[in-house]
Structure 1
Amino acid sequence: MAHKQTYPRTHSSGHKSQVLWSGKNLKPSTLPPLRQAKGHSKSKMKTWSSIQPVQSQTSVEMANLAKNLRGLRRREQAHHGKMQAKVRLMRSMLRNQRTSLQELYSHEGFLSKLNQELVKSIQDMEETMAMNVREMLQQQGILGNVIDILEYSNKKRVQQLRSELQEWKEKEESKINSLQQEVDQLNAEILKAHEEVNFLSTYMDHEYPVRSVQIANHIRQVQQAKDSQQDELDNLKEMREMVLGCFSKMIQEKKKKILRALMVKTQKPYEEILMLKTLDSQRLQRCTVWFRELIQQLKEEIPILVAEVEQMYAEVWNPREVVFKDVLLQRPKCTPDMDVELNIPVQELLPF
């Protein structure tokens, strides 16, 4: 980046030196023709001064000289115009080069700013990348530790599962052996059952019809016996219920008699006391009723008596007021609820 930053300066300085060198090279090319023009004008003046005293030359020579002078003037004018055009071109080129130099300087400043910004952005990117790399390394370390832990736990789990698998295999083998033994036993039982089936097939063909008739007869006899026994059981149930009902009635009557006798025995010593207490309770109930009525009457009379007492208090006079009746004029008291009448004498105006 530093090389790129210094490169435009070297280019601009080289371009500037090239422009100055071209200007220096052009000066000698432009100046000598002007000097030649001045020398030629001096020689022309000398020729005119030499021509004036010599009047004896012929007209042919004069015409030739005039033609030569005209050609020289035309050449000098053309050369002078070319030189002025070259000067103008050089000035315009110098102006253009100056503007281009200014633009190059402005581009140089802009590029330097861009380079600085790029350097800052690259530094920031490098810092962020370094931070990200550090974080990734930390995460990688953490993940490595986690992976190691998981591998260790997985190894333990695999060992545990292998041991469990071995135990399960042993158990399954023992189960398979026991099942094989059961299968062998079942096969033996099946063989026995086949033998019995073969025996029964021969039995069904020969002895089964006779035995089935005998079994049907026995079933009928058993059913008849069951029916007769059921009737007998029903009769026995009815008899039992009747006997139990009679016994329960007798027991209830005996219980009632015993309870009555016990009540009489227990109440005899306390019979008089109970009678007295019942009489007392009846009297107390009557007294309570009478007292309640009396209390109700007294409650009704209390407000009347209170009003009479208040009236009596109002009628009773203070002894001082009775003795000093003339001195202490009795005037009615003014309560907040009473209306007040003002008796103020008014001055009457005389007619005059």
Structure 2
Amino acid sequence: MSQSASGASGGWGKKAATRIDRTQFDNDELLKSLGSQFNVDFSNYDQWQRTSRSNKSAAAKTASNADVSTTFTVSRLKSIDSSCAKHSSFREKRQAAKQEELDREKAERIKILELRIRTRRKTHGEYLKRCKELIIENNKLKDLIDADEDNTHGGVKNLLRKYERYRGGIATLNNNFTKELEEALEELSVTKEKIKGHIDTLEQELAVMNEKLTAKQDELKVLLSYKDKEYPVKAMKIAGLHTEIDNLKLSNKEDQDELQHIINTEEGKYEKSREQESNEITRNVTDSAVKMMHQSLKDMAFQNMVMEKEILIHSSQEEGLQQRKAKLQAEIDALRGNKTNIRLQMFPEFYVDRPKCTPDMDVILNIPTQEWLPI
């Protein structure tokens, strides 16, 4: 157990030593004075580990043996004190230097231990801080888990209620399905009976149609035999008759045209005579009607004719006046448009409207040239 504890403590110390940020000790005067002596290997903790009882007993035995040996050496040294007196001063100096070196190493170890203590305190504080953060996060997770459990519980309740309703709906659907299935089976049986009767009638009709078909096939055979034997002869006869008819039409066409001409001339004569007779009858009837009329009616008819003529004359005169009015209105509008040119308004006969020369018109120069007389 002690070895495992020491190994665990050694591993933890090694990890803590590796986590030390050495940049934070750059401004430390103590570390600057130590220099490179601070680079100590923390992987070996044998000198600070606790030893077991067996190790302690062995250490005690070695210590007793060392005491015996030291007593022996002291007695021996006393015997030879006189011979080594001249070397005492050198040994004292050497022991003093060795003691100083041991003191210096001890001081360095103390400083290193203090530094380790500070780092472990710092890591302990960080662990405490991290522990608090983890406690807060755990509480949050607990709240989230509780909320999720509440939501899940509510969802499960809703699902159970839906399942109950679903079971009730399934039961009603099954009942309805059984009823509809029974009704459908009954309808199927009735439909089968109807279809069976309909099939029987169709079979009877099919038998009748087969009989008719056989009769028609017999007729077709007769027609085919007629087509193959008698039809070609009769077709040739028919073609000959058609040619004879065409020839007769050509021969009788001239006679038909002459007859049509005679008919047309006679119809024209009859039409002219009919028109003459109808005109004569109309004139006679009109004369007789006029003779039978009273003189006042004749005068009234004559006056109506005169008034009709006068109306026509006046309407023509009115149209002429309307045209003249439109022309005068156009002249008035033109005069109103030329208000700026006073001379043109006062003396229009001297200011004749001349066409202007536009850029797209051709210019013809009529310059008189001198012609020389022939010599």
TM-score above 0.5, yes or no: no
Q: Which has the higher helix share?
A: 1
The structure whose Rg is larger is 1
Q: TM-score range by the shorter chain?
A: 0.3 to 0.5
Normalising by structure 2, what TM-score? 0.36
Per the normalisation by structure 1, the TM-score is: 0.38
Higher relative contact order (CA 8 A, sep 6+): 1
